[in-house]
Chains A and B, each alone.
Chain A
Amino acid sequence: MMAEPRSQDVLEEGVHLDAASDDAEMAELRSLLLGPAEGQIAEIHERLTDPHRQLTEVSTVLPDAIAVRTRQDDELANALGPTVTTAIERSVRKNPQPLVDAIFPVIGPAIRRAISVALSGMVQSLNQSMAYSFSVQGLKWRIEAWRTGKPFAEVVMLHTLLFRVEQVFLIHRETGLLLQHVVAGSAAVQDADMVSGMLTAIQDFVHDSFNSPAEEQLETLEVGELTVWIEQGPLAILAAVIRGTAPQELRPVFQETLETIHLQFRTALQDFSGDASEFDGARPLLEDCLQTQVDQDKQAAAPNRFPRSLIVIASIILLALLVWGFFAWRDSRRWNAYVERVRREPGVVVTDAGTRDGKYFIDGLRDPLARDPQAFLAEANVDPKTVVTRFEPFQAMSPEFVLPRARRLLEPPPTVNLKFDNGVLEAEGFASLEWITEMRRTVRFVPGVTQFKDENLLAVDRIVNPSLLFELDKTEPAPGQEEKFKQLMADIERLQKLAESMNKNARLEITGHADGSGSEERNAELSRGRAEKIASELNARLPSKNNLTIVAAASKEKLRAELTEADRAANRSVTFKIILTDAR
């Protein structure tokens, strides 16, 4: 534009000269001087004055010019930035549809990517939590989580982690002020502003303290599991806090990020006056540095190997529990049935029953006449080894125990029947007078017996040896024996009645005896004769002979030693043997 008026001046001057002198000469001179250039000048003139032509010309060089300038620096972008922004704003305000159409193809994938990144983080932590939830390892980590107060997922993460870039600081090199700070998930964070300043200070401190050359700077800080990697740029510093063992391949990632930031934010970094929001645009770059790598082996191994063995173990435990539960239930049922059985047993009192020290126990009282409760163990299917039994002896007063007890104490002969009813003990039958006498004394000490009856108890002594005497060498009874014989008959009749009431048949075996005088042959004859005599007498005189059999026999035995005449007389007699048999 500057050139245009000047060339105009020259031309006007020429025209002026031309007017002042000889026209023809001047024209000739001019054509001589300018000759072929005259047309060019006219063309230049036209090019400079015709706006349309200018537009065309600029349009031919504009793309190349932009390319050239962009290669030099990014001033053009700076210059165009606001205009482009305004243009887009206006365009959208006027009609948003073109922009919508334009970004439509990219917005879908962008959203999908964002969602998948967010989801994969969530799924990863969920997977790990699930995988380790029930393992022994998991249990340890759970305890650790409980102890340290960290979430379980976090503890799992920390253990399976090979490395994780937890924080990235973008620090303004000159001032040590924090430009941007990004944090991975749930990593613990101190005040980033102060950390940023202190990191710078420590760098300076190390650098100054060891007089290292200007280009050499602190690159790594290590604190336990944490490593801080510091990347130096001319205008900014990138510090990454890494948990675990970071691979060296990460270094170039940080370096490239820092270089990109320098490229994109050069001016902002140079002119930084404390407004960190100018660097918000660097956040995505920094977030890309927040990388995590977990131990694939540990992770892969866990979900496959673990649940299967877990299922097996759990199944075994479950099965064992079921079996144990069934047996415990069955045993308990059997035991209860046994205790109930013992309780029902007469003469046994259960005072306590249950389990003690892993064994069943049953305590109580037991009448010695009662059945041993241990006898029911087999019947109840309870293993005797698992049972401790302790029964103290006692005497049961129930009727079923009074009678057996009385039998034990009184030892009645088979011909005596004992009956017990409502406190009354009744003896019937017949026995020796000696036993009857003893019984009458003893019965008072039988517990449970309040009254004793023995009206129907017959002393058989008078029948066994009725003391019927015979004359010497004769089978006829001696005179004056009638009373004794009547007594004998009365006794036999009573015996008959008793036997009848006991549903027995009585058999009387009459044995005759002789004294020591006379021959053995004669004595045998006498003995038999005497027995038969009494037998026939009884058969003749007894009113009824139902259930009674009388037989006669001889004996060589003497009843007593014959020291006196009285002994001889006593030996000339008969004795009876009473045999009871069951009546039909």
Chain B
Amino acid sequence: MMSERNIVQKKICMLGTFAVGKTSLVRRFVQSIYSDKYHTTVGVKIDKKLIDMDGTQKMMMMLWDVEGAEQAHELRKSYLRGASGYLLVADGTRKETLYRALEIQTRAQDALGLVPYVFLINKSDLVDEWTIDERELEALVEKGWHVIRTSAKSGVGVEEAFMALARKMMEMPK
């Protein structure tokens, strides 16, 4: 298989604690050849998505959908290795997932250094049941975080989140 010109490949990781909807988000975004049971066996499932950046530049995203870890230190560092960016996912209806996400982000940054990431607050379709304080999110945004509210169910914000990460990665110097 010849690599086509103007295709850049990037490894990105889906990070976040259990049941925040990482896999559902990926499923919204890609077609996969591996079944979800890889999560429980190998701990990661890999999918890909070809994104057209601006007509001439394409990006092949290799999505490493990493098994949700209860504790940040359970996160397998080897799966993070070589990632050009990551999507951090929290569940808007479960406040504790936000804190877990913050811990995971710290660990990811330890492992990867300063690579682009986007913070996804999932389940925006259940906004009535949200327990996350908007002010906490605003604080993150003020720190420079890119926060996007998504719904894997309705698809709202999903494409946007992946595109945002793709653009950030393209802007990164080598």
Report if B95 contacts A (CB, 8 A): no
CB within 8 Å of A: which B15-62 residues: 32-34, 38, 42-44, 46-48, 59-60, 62
In contact, A177 and B82 (Cβ under 8 angstroms) = yes
Residues of B within 8 A of A279 (CB): 3
- Given known contacts A201-B64, A208-B78, A280-B2, is B33 in contact with A194 (CB within 8 Å)? yes
B172 nearest CB across to chain A (Å):
9
CB-based nearest A residue for B41: A205
Q: Which of A267-275, A357-365, A469-477 contacts B (4 or more CB under 8 A)?
A: A267-275
- Cross-chain contact of B82 among A172, A183, A205 (Cβ < 8 A): A172
- Verify B8–A191 contact, CB threshold 8 A: no
Chain A residues, Cβ within 8 Å of B60:
193, 274
- The docked-state distance in angstroms from the alpha carbon of A369 to that of B155 is 103
Residue interface bits A43-67, CB-to-B below 8 A is 1, else 0: 0000000000000000000000000
Residue in A181, A197, A274 whose beta carbon sits within 8 Å of that of B46 in the complex: A197
Cβ contacts under 8 Å, A559 to chain B: none
B9 and A177 contacting across the interface, CB-CB below 8 Å: yes
Q: A273 to B44, Cβ gap below 8 A?
A: no
A-chain residues with CB within 8 Å of residue B47 when the two chains form the complex: 194
Is B167 located at the chain interface by the 8 A CB criterion? no
Separation of A201 and B1 alpha carbons in the complex (Å): 21
Chain A residues with Cβ below 8 Å from B59 are 274
- How many contacting A-B pairs (Cβ < 8 A)? 94
Question: Contact partner of A198 among B4, B7, B34, CB < 8 A?
Answer: B34
Contact B78 A194 (CB under 8 A): no
| CB-defined contacts of A178 to chain B, threshold 8 Å | 9
Considering only residues 260-278 of chain A, those with a C-beta below 8 Å from chain B are 271, 273-277
**Is residue A207 contacting chain B, with contact meaning CB distance below 8 A?**
yes
Q: What's the Cα separation between A183 and B2 when bound, in Å?
A: 11
| Number of A residues with CB within 8 Å of any CB on chain B | 32
Residue contact B33 to A191, C-beta cutoff 8 Å: yes
Task: With both chains docked as a complex, state the minimum distance between the C-beta of A284 and any C-beta of chain B, in angstroms.
Answer: 13
Is A194 in contact with B82, judged by CB distance below 8 angstroms? no
CB–CB B174/A273 < 8 A: yes
A236 to chain B, nearest CB (A): 12
Residue of B nearest to A279 (CB): B3
Instruction: Report the separation of the CA atoms of residues A202 and B1 in the bound assembly, to the nearest whole angstrom.
Output: 22
Known contacts: A191-B48, A280-B2. The answer to whether A197 contacts B62 by CB under 8 A is yes
Q: Chain A nearest CB: distance from B35 CB in Å?
A: 12
Question: Contact: B46 with A201, CB < 8 Å?
Answer: yes
**Which residues of the other chain, B, contact A70 by a CB distance below 8 angstroms?**
none
Asked if residues B64 and A193 are in contact (CB atoms below 8 Å), the reply is: no
Verify A193–B78 contact, CB threshold 8 A.
Answer: no
Given contacts A175-B84, A271-B174, A277-B5, contact A194 B48 (CB under 8 A): yes
Q: Is the Cβ of B9 less than 8 Å from the Cβ of A193?
A: yes
B146 within 8 A of A: no
Q: Are A177 and B34 in contact (CB under 8 A)?
A: no
* Chain B interface residues toward A at CB < 8 A: 1-5, 7-11, 32-34, 38, 42-44, 46-48, 59-60, 62, 64, 76, 78-79, 81-84, 174
A interface residues (Cβ-Cβ under 8 A, vs B): 172-178, 180-181, 183, 190-194, 197-198, 201-202, 204-205, 207-208, 271, 273-277, 279-280, 283
9 residue pairs A–B, Cβ–Cβ below 8 Å: A175-B62, A175-B81, A175-B82, A177-B62, A181-B1, A191-B48, A197-B11, A201-B46, A273-B8
Given contacts A194-B47, A277-B7, 9 further A-B contacts (CB under 8 A): A175-B11, A175-B81, A175-B83, A190-B33, A193-B9, A193-B62, A197-B11, A197-B62, A201-B42
